[in-house]
Structure 1
Protein backbone atom coordinates (compact mmCIF):
# COMPACT_ATOMS: atom_id res chain seq x y z
CA UNK A 1 0.00 0.00 0.00
CA UNK A 2 1.10 3.57 -0.62
CA UNK A 3 0.11 6.86 0.97
CA UNK A 4 -1.80 7.78 -2.20
CA UNK A 5 -4.25 4.90 -1.76
CA UNK A 6 -7.67 5.66 -0.28
CA UNK A 7 -8.60 4.90 3.31
CA UNK A 8 -11.53 2.56 3.82
CA UNK A 9 -14.36 3.37 6.23
CA UNK A 10 -16.93 0.72 7.13
CA UNK A 11 -20.27 0.87 8.91
CA UNK A 12 -23.35 -1.30 8.85
CA UNK A 13 -25.24 1.68 7.39
CA UNK A 14 -25.12 5.45 7.14
CA UNK A 15 -24.18 6.09 10.78
CA UNK A 16 -20.46 6.00 10.01
CA UNK A 17 -20.93 9.16 7.98
CA UNK A 18 -20.64 10.98 11.31
CA UNK A 19 -17.14 9.54 11.67
CA UNK A 20 -16.34 10.18 8.01
CA UNK A 21 -17.15 13.87 8.52
CA UNK A 22 -14.60 14.07 11.33
CA UNK A 23 -12.02 12.14 9.28
CA UNK A 24 -12.43 14.49 6.33
CA UNK A 25 -12.15 17.50 8.62
CA UNK A 26 -8.98 16.22 10.26
CA UNK A 27 -7.45 14.62 7.15
CA UNK A 28 -8.57 16.90 4.29
CA UNK A 29 -6.15 15.48 1.71
CA UNK A 30 -7.10 11.83 2.12
CA UNK A 31 -9.37 9.96 -0.28
CA UNK A 32 -11.97 7.70 1.32
CA UNK A 33 -13.90 4.59 0.34
CA UNK A 34 -17.02 4.54 2.50
CA UNK A 35 -18.80 1.18 2.57
CA UNK A 36 -22.26 0.89 4.15
CA UNK A 37 -23.57 -2.66 4.53
CA UNK A 38 -27.14 -1.49 4.03
CA UNK A 39 -28.28 -4.96 2.97
CA UNK A 40 -27.80 -6.15 6.56
CA UNK A 41 -28.37 -3.08 8.74
CA UNK A 42 -29.05 -3.03 11.66
CA UNK A 43 -26.52 -5.57 12.90
CA UNK A 44 -26.75 -4.94 16.64
CA UNK A 45 -29.26 -7.72 17.29
CA UNK A 46 -27.57 -10.28 15.01
CA UNK A 47 -25.59 -13.22 16.47
CA UNK A 48 -22.00 -12.48 17.41
CA UNK A 49 -20.52 -14.75 14.73
CA UNK A 50 -22.66 -13.12 12.04
CA UNK A 51 -21.49 -9.65 13.11
CA UNK A 52 -17.88 -10.80 12.82
CA UNK A 53 -18.53 -12.39 9.42
CA UNK A 54 -20.26 -9.32 7.97
CA UNK A 55 -17.47 -7.07 9.22
CA UNK A 56 -14.73 -9.31 7.87
CA UNK A 57 -16.44 -9.47 4.46
CA UNK A 58 -16.72 -5.70 4.32
CA UNK A 59 -13.08 -5.14 5.25
CA UNK A 60 -12.02 -7.73 2.66
CA UNK A 61 -14.03 -5.86 0.02
CA UNK A 62 -12.32 -2.57 0.89
CA UNK A 63 -8.90 -4.25 0.89
CA UNK A 64 -9.63 -5.71 -2.56
CA UNK A 65 -10.51 -2.23 -3.83
CA UNK A 66 -7.10 -0.91 -2.85
CA UNK A 67 -7.72 0.66 0.55
CA UNK A 68 -4.55 1.23 2.59
CA UNK A 69 -6.34 0.56 5.87
CA UNK A 70 -9.84 0.59 7.33
CA UNK A 71 -11.61 2.57 10.01
CA UNK A 72 -14.33 0.32 11.43
CA UNK A 73 -16.77 3.18 12.04
CA UNK A 74 -19.27 1.03 13.91
CA UNK A 75 -19.27 0.45 17.66
CA UNK A 76 -20.94 -2.96 17.37
CA UNK A 77 -18.53 -4.21 14.70
CA UNK A 78 -15.58 -2.87 16.68
CA UNK A 79 -16.75 -4.66 19.82
CA UNK A 80 -16.60 -8.05 18.09
CA UNK A 81 -14.15 -7.85 15.21
CA UNK A 82 -11.02 -5.75 15.83
CA UNK A 83 -8.80 -8.51 17.21
CA UNK A 84 -9.45 -11.12 14.47
CA UNK A 85 -9.15 -8.45 11.76
CA UNK A 86 -5.79 -7.24 13.06
CA UNK A 87 -4.54 -10.81 13.33
CA UNK A 88 -5.59 -11.47 9.75
CA UNK A 89 -4.13 -8.37 8.08
CA UNK A 90 -1.16 -7.51 10.28
CA UNK A 91 0.44 -4.12 10.94
CA UNK A 92 0.95 -3.20 7.27
CA UNK A 93 -2.82 -2.76 6.84
CA UNK A 94 -4.05 -0.65 9.80
CA UNK A 95 -7.43 -1.53 11.29
CA UNK A 96 -8.77 1.29 13.45
CA UNK A 97 -11.87 0.82 15.55
CA UNK A 98 -14.16 2.78 17.82
CA UNK A 99 -14.08 2.86 21.59
CA UNK A 100 -17.13 4.26 23.41
CA UNK A 101 -16.23 7.73 24.69
CA UNK A 102 -16.53 6.83 28.37
CA UNK A 103 -13.15 8.34 29.31
CA UNK A 104 -13.99 11.98 28.41
CA UNK A 105 -17.49 11.61 29.84
CA UNK A 106 -16.05 10.42 33.16
CA UNK A 107 -13.61 13.31 33.18
CA UNK A 108 -16.39 15.85 32.54
CA UNK A 109 -19.20 14.61 34.80
CA UNK A 110 -20.15 16.72 37.79
CA UNK A 111 -23.01 14.55 38.97
CA UNK A 112 -20.96 11.37 39.04
CA UNK A 113 -23.45 9.65 36.74
CA UNK A 114 -22.74 8.97 33.05
CA UNK A 115 -25.24 7.55 30.59
CA UNK A 116 -24.39 5.41 27.57
CA UNK A 117 -26.86 5.08 24.69
CA UNK A 118 -25.91 1.90 22.84
CA UNK A 119 -27.13 -0.83 20.52
CA UNK A 120 -27.87 -4.37 21.72
CA UNK A 121 -24.68 -5.62 20.08
CA UNK A 122 -22.45 -3.05 21.75
CA UNK A 123 -23.89 -3.96 25.14
CA UNK A 124 -23.16 -7.67 24.51
CA UNK A 125 -19.55 -7.05 23.53
CA UNK A 126 -16.67 -6.72 25.97
CA UNK A 127 -15.32 -3.38 24.73
CA UNK A 128 -17.83 -1.21 26.62
CA UNK A 129 -17.38 -3.21 29.81
CA UNK A 130 -13.61 -2.88 29.46
CA UNK A 131 -13.63 0.91 29.16
CA UNK A 132 -16.08 1.24 32.07
CA UNK A 133 -13.80 -0.92 34.19
CA UNK A 134 -10.75 1.09 33.13
CA UNK A 135 -12.05 4.64 33.43
CA UNK A 136 -15.31 4.83 35.38
CA UNK A 137 -14.83 2.30 38.17
CA UNK A 138 -11.56 3.75 39.53
CA UNK A 139 -13.12 7.24 39.50
CA UNK A 140 -16.22 6.09 41.36
CA UNK A 141 -18.46 7.18 38.49
CA UNK A 142 -21.71 5.31 37.94
CA UNK A 143 -22.36 4.32 34.32
CA UNK A 144 -25.95 3.62 33.28
CA UNK A 145 -26.78 2.12 29.91
CA UNK A 146 -29.81 2.59 27.70
CA UNK A 147 -30.55 0.54 24.61
CA UNK A 148 -33.00 0.76 21.73
CA UNK A 149 -33.32 -1.35 18.61
CA UNK A 150 -35.48 1.31 16.92
CA UNK A 151 -33.10 4.25 16.61
CA UNK A 152 -30.69 2.93 13.96
CA UNK A 153 -33.51 2.05 11.49
CA UNK A 154 -35.00 5.53 12.00
CA UNK A 155 -31.69 7.19 11.11
CA UNK A 156 -31.29 4.84 8.13
CA UNK A 157 -34.75 5.92 6.92
CA UNK A 158 -33.88 9.62 7.18
CA UNK A 159 -36.16 10.02 10.22
CA UNK A 160 -33.64 11.24 12.80
CA UNK A 161 -35.65 14.41 13.43
CA UNK A 162 -39.09 12.80 13.32
CA UNK A 163 -41.65 12.74 16.10
CA UNK A 164 -41.24 8.97 16.21
CA UNK A 165 -37.50 9.31 16.87
CA UNK A 166 -38.18 11.85 19.61
CA UNK A 167 -40.76 9.55 21.20
CA UNK A 168 -38.29 6.63 21.25
CA UNK A 169 -35.58 8.86 22.70
CA UNK A 170 -37.96 10.19 25.32
CA UNK A 171 -38.83 6.68 26.48
CA UNK A 172 -35.25 5.40 26.30
CA UNK A 173 -33.39 8.29 27.93
CA UNK A 174 -35.82 9.51 30.59
CA UNK A 175 -34.56 6.94 33.14
CA UNK A 176 -31.01 8.25 32.66
CA UNK A 177 -32.13 11.83 33.15
CA UNK A 178 -34.09 10.89 36.28
CA UNK A 179 -31.01 9.10 37.65
CA UNK A 180 -28.95 12.29 37.36
CA UNK A 181 -26.78 11.55 34.33
CA UNK A 182 -25.20 14.74 33.03
CA UNK A 183 -23.09 13.15 30.26
CA UNK A 184 -24.51 10.98 27.49
CA UNK A 185 -22.08 8.83 25.54
CA UNK A 186 -23.42 8.22 22.03
CA UNK A 187 -22.36 4.60 21.68
CA UNK A 188 -23.30 4.16 18.03
CA UNK A 189 -22.17 6.19 15.03
CA UNK A 190 -25.80 6.68 14.00
CA UNK A 191 -26.57 8.53 17.21
CA UNK A 192 -24.80 11.87 16.55
CA UNK A 193 -27.47 12.40 13.87
CA UNK A 194 -30.04 12.28 16.69
CA UNK A 195 -28.40 15.14 18.60
CA UNK A 196 -31.02 17.73 17.66
CA UNK A 197 -33.84 15.39 18.69
CA UNK A 198 -32.14 14.61 22.00
CA UNK A 199 -31.71 18.31 22.76
CA UNK A 200 -35.31 19.02 21.72
CA UNK A 201 -36.51 16.49 24.30
CA UNK A 202 -33.99 17.02 27.11
CA UNK A 203 -32.50 20.48 26.59
CA UNK A 204 -29.13 20.75 28.30
CA UNK A 205 -29.73 17.82 30.67
CA UNK A 206 -26.94 15.89 28.97
CA UNK A 207 -23.67 16.89 27.41
CA UNK A 208 -23.45 14.67 24.30
CA UNK A 209 -20.15 12.84 23.90
CA UNK A 210 -19.03 10.77 20.91
CA UNK A 211 -15.71 9.38 19.73
CA UNK A 212 -15.65 10.71 16.14
CA UNK A 213 -13.10 13.51 16.61
CA UNK A 214 -10.82 11.35 18.77
CA UNK A 215 -10.91 8.54 16.20
CA UNK A 216 -10.01 11.00 13.44
CA UNK A 217 -6.99 12.26 15.39
CA UNK A 218 -5.92 8.70 16.20
CA UNK A 219 -6.29 7.69 12.55
CA UNK A 220 -3.98 10.51 11.49
CA UNK A 221 -1.37 9.35 14.00
CA UNK A 222 -1.65 5.72 12.89
CA UNK A 223 -1.29 6.61 9.21
CA UNK A 224 1.69 8.87 9.92
CA UNK A 225 3.37 6.15 11.99
CA UNK A 226 2.90 3.63 9.19
CA UNK A 227 4.16 6.00 6.50
CA UNK A 228 0.71 6.04 4.90
CA UNK A 229 -0.38 9.63 5.56
CA UNK A 230 -1.04 11.39 2.29
CA UNK A 231 1.06 14.48 1.62
CA UNK A 232 -0.69 17.83 1.38
CA UNK A 233 -2.02 18.50 -2.08
CA UNK A 234 -5.44 18.47 -3.66
CA UNK A 235 -8.47 18.09 -1.41
CA UNK A 236 -9.46 14.48 -0.93
CA UNK A 237 -12.76 13.01 -2.09
CA UNK A 238 -15.08 10.27 -0.88
CA UNK A 239 -16.55 7.36 -2.82
CA UNK A 240 -19.75 5.86 -1.42
CA UNK A 241 -20.46 2.14 -1.65
CA UNK A 242 -23.51 0.22 -0.40
CA UNK A 243 -24.49 -3.43 -0.41
CA UNK A 244 -28.21 -2.65 -0.65
CA UNK A 245 -30.23 -0.41 -2.95
CA UNK A 246 -28.18 2.70 -3.84
CA UNK A 247 -31.28 4.67 -4.83
CA UNK A 248 -32.69 4.20 -1.34
CA UNK A 249 -29.43 5.30 0.31
CA UNK A 250 -28.63 8.30 -1.88
CA UNK A 251 -31.16 10.81 -0.47
CA UNK A 252 -30.35 9.88 3.12
CA UNK A 253 -26.60 10.14 2.49
CA UNK A 254 -27.09 13.49 0.81
CA UNK A 255 -29.05 14.81 3.78
CA UNK A 256 -26.58 13.55 6.35
CA UNK A 257 -23.53 14.85 4.48
CA UNK A 258 -25.12 18.18 3.61
CA UNK A 259 -24.54 17.69 -0.12
CA UNK A 260 -27.18 18.05 -2.81
CA UNK A 261 -28.48 14.67 -3.93
CA UNK A 262 -27.38 15.10 -7.55
CA UNK A 263 -23.78 15.45 -6.32
CA UNK A 264 -23.79 12.20 -4.36
CA UNK A 265 -22.83 9.08 -6.33
CA UNK A 266 -23.57 5.78 -4.63
CA UNK A 267 -22.36 2.46 -6.07
CA UNK A 268 -23.69 -0.99 -5.21
CA UNK A 269 -21.10 -3.63 -4.30
CA UNK A 270 -21.13 -7.24 -3.16
CA UNK A 271 -19.18 -8.31 -0.09
Structure 2
Protein backbone atom coordinates (compact mmCIF):
# COMPACT_ATOMS: atom_id res chain seq x y z
CA UNK A 1 0.00 0.00 0.00
CA UNK A 2 1.36 3.39 -0.95
CA UNK A 3 0.07 6.92 -0.89
CA UNK A 4 -0.05 8.09 -4.51
CA UNK A 5 -2.25 5.33 -5.94
CA UNK A 6 -4.86 5.56 -3.19
CA UNK A 7 -4.86 9.36 -3.03
CA UNK A 8 -5.32 9.58 -6.81
CA UNK A 9 -8.16 7.04 -6.73
CA UNK A 10 -9.90 8.95 -3.94
CA UNK A 11 -9.51 12.23 -5.85
CA UNK A 12 -10.86 10.76 -9.09
CA UNK A 13 -13.83 9.35 -7.17
CA UNK A 14 -14.50 12.68 -5.42
CA UNK A 15 -14.18 15.14 -8.32
CA UNK A 16 -17.32 16.40 -9.99
CA UNK A 17 -15.76 18.80 -12.51
CA UNK A 18 -12.63 16.77 -13.36
CA UNK A 19 -10.27 19.48 -12.07
CA UNK A 20 -7.97 18.05 -9.44
CA UNK A 21 -5.27 19.91 -7.55
CA UNK A 22 -2.18 18.40 -5.98
CA UNK A 23 -0.01 20.15 -3.43
CA UNK A 24 3.25 18.77 -2.09
CA UNK A 25 6.91 19.40 -1.57
CA UNK A 26 8.96 20.42 -4.59
CA UNK A 27 10.24 16.84 -5.01
CA UNK A 28 6.72 15.39 -4.87
CA UNK A 29 5.33 17.83 -7.42
CA UNK A 30 8.34 17.55 -9.73
CA UNK A 31 8.05 13.75 -9.74
CA UNK A 32 4.67 14.05 -11.47
CA UNK A 33 3.56 10.79 -9.85
CA UNK A 34 0.15 12.05 -8.70
CA UNK A 35 -0.62 13.58 -12.09
CA UNK A 36 0.36 10.39 -13.94
CA UNK A 37 -1.81 8.24 -11.70
CA UNK A 38 -4.79 10.61 -11.90
CA UNK A 39 -4.55 10.71 -15.71
CA UNK A 40 -4.23 6.92 -15.84
CA UNK A 41 -7.50 6.64 -13.92
CA UNK A 42 -9.25 9.60 -15.57
CA UNK A 43 -7.58 10.60 -18.85
CA UNK A 44 -9.77 13.69 -19.28
CA UNK A 45 -8.88 15.12 -15.85
CA UNK A 46 -7.19 18.50 -15.57
CA UNK A 47 -4.46 18.38 -12.93
CA UNK A 48 -2.91 21.46 -11.34
CA UNK A 49 0.10 20.76 -9.13
CA UNK A 50 1.76 23.26 -6.79
CA UNK A 51 4.81 23.04 -4.60
CA UNK A 52 4.09 24.48 -1.15
CA UNK A 53 7.57 24.63 0.33
CA UNK A 54 6.70 26.64 3.44
CA UNK A 55 3.90 24.35 4.62
CA UNK A 56 6.22 21.82 6.31
CA UNK A 57 8.19 24.45 8.28
CA UNK A 58 4.93 26.12 9.36
CA UNK A 59 3.62 22.85 10.79
CA UNK A 60 6.92 21.95 12.40
CA UNK A 61 7.08 25.23 14.32
CA UNK A 62 3.44 24.89 15.37
CA UNK A 63 1.92 27.50 13.06
CA UNK A 64 -1.17 25.85 11.62
CA UNK A 65 -4.19 27.60 13.13
CA UNK A 66 -6.67 28.60 10.44
CA UNK A 67 -7.10 32.06 11.95
CA UNK A 68 -3.37 32.83 12.15
CA UNK A 69 -2.72 35.64 9.66
CA UNK A 70 0.71 34.28 8.66
CA UNK A 71 -0.74 30.82 8.02
CA UNK A 72 -3.78 32.13 6.15
CA UNK A 73 -1.79 34.46 3.88
CA UNK A 74 0.82 31.77 3.16
CA UNK A 75 -1.86 29.23 2.29
CA UNK A 76 -3.72 31.77 0.15
CA UNK A 77 -0.57 32.62 -1.82
CA UNK A 78 0.37 28.98 -2.47
CA UNK A 79 -3.16 27.90 -3.39
CA UNK A 80 -3.79 30.70 -5.89
CA UNK A 81 -3.18 28.40 -8.91
CA UNK A 82 -5.59 25.82 -7.43
CA UNK A 83 -8.28 28.48 -7.04
CA UNK A 84 -7.65 29.89 -10.53
CA UNK A 85 -7.92 26.39 -12.05
CA UNK A 86 -11.32 25.93 -10.35
CA UNK A 87 -10.26 22.62 -8.79
CA UNK A 88 -13.03 20.95 -6.82
CA UNK A 89 -10.70 18.35 -5.29
CA UNK A 90 -7.27 18.77 -3.72
CA UNK A 91 -4.76 16.09 -2.74
CA UNK A 92 -2.73 17.07 0.34
CA UNK A 93 0.41 15.39 -0.97
CA UNK A 94 2.66 15.54 2.10
CA UNK A 95 2.29 13.99 5.54
CA UNK A 96 2.41 17.42 7.21
CA UNK A 97 -0.26 19.06 5.06
CA UNK A 98 -3.39 17.56 6.70
CA UNK A 99 -2.46 19.54 9.82
CA UNK A 100 -3.25 22.64 7.73
CA UNK A 101 -6.71 21.33 6.72
CA UNK A 102 -8.50 24.10 8.61
CA UNK A 103 -6.50 26.85 6.92
CA UNK A 104 -6.71 25.21 3.49
CA UNK A 105 -10.49 24.74 3.83
CA UNK A 106 -10.99 28.32 4.93
CA UNK A 107 -9.10 29.59 1.87
CA UNK A 108 -10.68 27.21 -0.66
CA UNK A 109 -14.19 27.08 0.78
CA UNK A 110 -16.65 24.23 1.27
CA UNK A 111 -16.87 23.39 -2.44
CA UNK A 112 -13.43 21.76 -2.52
CA UNK A 113 -12.95 18.19 -1.28
CA UNK A 114 -9.62 17.66 0.48
CA UNK A 115 -7.97 14.27 0.04
CA UNK A 116 -5.75 13.14 2.90
CA UNK A 117 -3.55 10.36 1.45
CA UNK A 118 -3.04 8.84 4.89
CA UNK A 119 -6.78 8.37 5.28
CA UNK A 120 -7.06 7.00 1.72
CA UNK A 121 -4.37 4.39 2.46
CA UNK A 122 -5.87 3.55 5.86
CA UNK A 123 -9.25 2.98 4.17
CA UNK A 124 -7.61 0.71 1.57
CA UNK A 125 -5.81 -1.28 4.27
CA UNK A 126 -9.04 -1.61 6.26
CA UNK A 127 -10.87 -2.85 3.16
CA UNK A 128 -8.07 -5.33 2.43
CA UNK A 129 -8.09 -6.69 5.97
CA UNK A 130 -11.87 -7.10 5.94
CA UNK A 131 -11.90 -8.70 2.49
CA UNK A 132 -9.24 -11.21 3.53
CA UNK A 133 -10.69 -11.86 7.01
CA UNK A 134 -7.52 -10.50 8.64
CA UNK A 135 -9.13 -8.08 11.09
CA UNK A 136 -8.32 -8.59 14.73
CA UNK A 137 -11.05 -10.25 16.73
CA UNK A 138 -9.99 -9.07 20.17
CA UNK A 139 -10.40 -5.31 19.69
CA UNK A 140 -6.72 -4.70 20.41
CA UNK A 141 -5.19 -1.56 18.94
CA UNK A 142 -1.91 -3.39 18.39
CA UNK A 143 1.64 -2.27 19.05
CA UNK A 144 3.17 0.93 17.75
CA UNK A 145 6.86 1.34 17.06
CA UNK A 146 8.28 4.34 15.24
CA UNK A 147 11.58 4.43 13.39
CA UNK A 148 12.93 7.89 12.62
CA UNK A 149 16.08 9.34 11.13
CA UNK A 150 15.83 12.55 13.16
CA UNK A 151 16.05 12.94 16.93
CA UNK A 152 13.32 10.94 18.74
CA UNK A 153 12.31 13.93 20.91
CA UNK A 154 11.57 15.96 17.76
CA UNK A 155 9.34 13.20 16.41
CA UNK A 156 7.57 12.88 19.75
CA UNK A 157 6.46 16.53 19.72
CA UNK A 158 5.51 16.49 16.04
CA UNK A 159 3.67 13.17 16.44
CA UNK A 160 1.36 14.79 18.97
CA UNK A 161 0.27 17.17 16.20
CA UNK A 162 0.31 14.75 13.26
CA UNK A 163 -1.15 11.71 15.01
CA UNK A 164 -3.22 13.45 17.65
CA UNK A 165 -1.75 11.42 20.50
CA UNK A 166 1.20 11.45 22.83
CA UNK A 167 3.88 8.92 21.94
CA UNK A 168 5.89 7.12 24.59
CA UNK A 169 9.52 7.93 23.82
CA UNK A 170 10.44 4.25 24.39
CA UNK A 171 8.48 3.46 21.22
CA UNK A 172 10.62 5.77 19.07
CA UNK A 173 13.91 4.45 17.71
CA UNK A 174 16.46 6.46 15.77
CA UNK A 175 17.92 4.64 12.74
CA UNK A 176 20.40 5.41 9.99
CA UNK A 177 19.04 5.27 6.45
CA UNK A 178 21.81 2.98 5.26
CA UNK A 179 20.84 0.44 7.95
CA UNK A 180 17.39 -0.05 6.44
Return the alpha-carbon distance in structure 2 between the equivalents of residues 174 and 202 of structure 1.
9
Return the alpha-carbon distance in structure 2 between the equivalents of residues 177 and 269 of structure 1.
40
Instruction: Say whether residues 1:108 and 2:14 are aligned partners.
Output: yes
User: CA 1:110/1:218 → structure 2, altered by over 3 Å: closer, same or farther?
Assistant: closer
Return the alpha-carbon distance in structure 2 between the equivalents of residues 242 and 158 of structure 1.
20
* Counterparts of residues 141-220 of structure 1 (less than 5 Å): 141-161=45-65, 162-220=68-126
User: CA 1:152/1:232 → structure 2, altered by over 3 Å: closer, same or farther?
Assistant: same
1:223 Cα deviation after fit: 9.8
1:173 Cα deviation after fit: 0.6
Return the alpha-carbon distance in structure 2 between the equivalents of residues 126 and 113 of structure 1.
16
- The answer on whether the counterparts of 2:48 and 2:81 sit within 8 Å (CA) in structure 1 is no
1:177 Cα deviation after fit: 1.0
Q: CA offsets, 1:201-258, max 9 Å, x none?
A: 2321421112333312433427986x9x464223323233432222233222223333
- The answer on whether the counterparts of 2:147 and 2:175 sit within 8 Å (CA) in structure 1 is no
1:170 Cα deviation after fit: 0.7
* Counterparts of residues 1-271 of structure 1 (less than 5 Å): 96-99=1-4, 101-137=7-43, 140-161=44-65, 162-220=68-126, 221=128, 229=134, 231-233=136-138, 234-259=140-165, 261=166, 264-265=168-169, 267-271=172-176
Higher relative contact order structure (alpha carbons within 8 Å, sequence separation ≥ 6): 1
Return the alpha-carbon distance in structure 2 between the equivalents of residues 231 and 184 of structure 1.
33
- The answer on whether the counterparts of 1:116 and 1:145 sit within 8 Å (CA) in structure 2 is yes
Q: Which runs of 5+ in 2 are unaligned?
A: none
- The answer on whether the counterparts of 1:241 and 1:269 sit within 8 Å (CA) in structure 2 is yes
* Superposition TM-score, scaled by structure 2 size: 0.76
- The answer on whether the counterparts of 2:24 and 2:94 sit within 8 Å (CA) in structure 1 is yes
Q: Which runs of 5+ in 1 are unaligned?
A: 1-95
User: 3-state DSSP class of the match of 1:114?
Assistant: strand
User: CA 1:243/1:192 → structure 2, altered by over 3 Å: closer, same or farther?
Assistant: same
Instruction: Figure out how many residues of one structure are paired with residues of the other and give that number.
Output: 170
RMSD: 2.8
